Chains A and B, each alone.
Chain A
């Protein structure tokens, strides 16, 4: 039950993109096309979950026992970088087309503050391995939902009659702002 609440909270109530405003770069960069958005969501999800689990393990079985908590940031960044590279290898193998479409945004997952944010949040709060993984999964689920929603809206916006000053990124940001307001409606839904 608590695990479900963790997922719900990470995905919707405290959505990393629209409520905590982390990870905005891939959010806006990869939401131009639906297939790119879904690919990016899956890639980020994989990295997040991997990073979440590995960082928990490193934190609790190496950093704390050996009093190396001051190395937390560097270690996490190393882990995330490796996870991103691994995901890129996988993506290159599975779908070269998607790899080409996402292009530069795949390595940029490493600098996605949502990923690092999840890893750090896991360590500040007392969690078990399972709840850490679920937290990572919930965060990536929320990221995926929002990315898919925005890409669907942006595809429709492409064909709409938008005034010239707003075409492209400006109207996407306005849309994201309105979506964010909608997600704030989840506040106070649950208390964890």
Chain B
């Protein structure tokens, strides 16, 4: 009876000690999962997912397991890729969050532009060229269709057009 208790206690202590030592010598690899998740997102920083930028959304997916269907510009392809890497089932895209899309570009009507520079300041990828008091224009090849420039314009001179035109 005594030997049995001693043996069990000894076994438990020995195994725990081994595991603690093992834990110290095998620290978890720094999580590159957030980097990998960010690479799957469109990285246009449109914010329609509700997070402050694509990296924030990636971090939220990695740590808080938020739903993976919140990225409108990424679309169903991004949902599928996120589902694959996270081992989750795919979900339907939350289209109610916004319509940002990589297939559209912003276009400034030069006749109406007043040069207030508010749009250029808010563009996350510096795709609007212009200095204050001078006319502004969108550099179409760099515009990502994130729609962030539309709200600040005081004269509503920015519209969205298909990228193929």
A and B touch in the complex (CB under 8 A): yes
- Residues on A close to B: CB < 8 A? 32-33, 36, 58, 62, 66-68, 70-71, 74-75, 78-79, 81-82, 85-86, 89-90, 92-97, 100-101, 103
Of all A-B residue pairs in the complex, the 9 with the closest CB atoms, nearest first, are: A82-B15, A101-B87, A92-B28, A93-B26, A89-B26, A96-B29, A89-B22, A68-B4, A85-B19
- Residues on B close to A: CB < 8 A? 3-4, 7-8, 11-12, 15, 18-19, 22-23, 26-29, 31-33, 36, 85-87
Select which of A68, A94, A97 is within 8 A of B3 by beta carbon: A68
Q: What number of residue pairs across chains A and B have CB atoms under 8 A from each other?
A: 61
At the interface, is chain B mostly helix, strand, loop or mixed? Answer: helix
Q: A89-B26, A93-B28 are in contact. List 15 more A-B contacts (CB 8 A).
A: A62-B7, A66-B7, A68-B3, A68-B7, A71-B7, A74-B8, A75-B7, A75-B8, A85-B19, A86-B18, A86-B19, A97-B36, A100-B86, A101-B86, A103-B87
At the interface, is chain A mostly helix, strand, loop or mixed? Answer: helix
Bound together, the chains give a CA A147 to CA B102 distance in angstroms of 41
Check A96/B87 contact, CB under 8 A, given A71-B7, A82-B19.
Answer: no
Bound together, the chains give a CA A94 to CA B26 distance in angstroms of 9
Residues of chain B lying within 8 A (CB to CB) of residue A103? 87
Bound together, the chains give a CA A71 to CA B7 distance in angstroms of 9
B11 touches A78 (CB 8 A): yes
Bound together, the chains give a CA A74 to CA B4 distance in angstroms of 11
Closest partner residue, chain B, to A71 (CB atom): B4
Could you name 24 residue pairs across A and B whose Cβ atoms are closer than 8 Å? A33-B87, A36-B87, A58-B11, A62-B7, A66-B3, A70-B4, A71-B8, A74-B8, A75-B8, A78-B11, A86-B19, A89-B19, A89-B22, A89-B26, A92-B29, A93-B26, A93-B29, A94-B29, A95-B29, A96-B31, A96-B32, A97-B85, A101-B87, A103-B87
Select which of A71, A78, A92, A93 is within 8 A of B15 by beta carbon: A78
Residues of chain B lying within 8 A (CB to CB) of residue A33? 87
Q: Which of B19, B31, B87 has the most CB of A within 10 A?
A: B87
Residues of chain A lying within 8 A (CB to CB) of residue B29? 92-96
Q: How far is the CB of A51 from chain B (nearest CB, A)?
A: 12
Residues of chain A lying within 8 A (CB to CB) of residue B22? 86, 89
Q: How far is the CB of A75 from chain B (nearest CB, A)?
A: 6
A97 touches B33 (CB 8 A): yes
Q: How far is the CB of A159 from chain B (nearest CB, A)?
A: 13
Bound together, the chains give a CA A67 to CA B15 distance in angstroms of 21
Bound together, the chains give a CA A10 to CA B7 distance in angstroms of 31
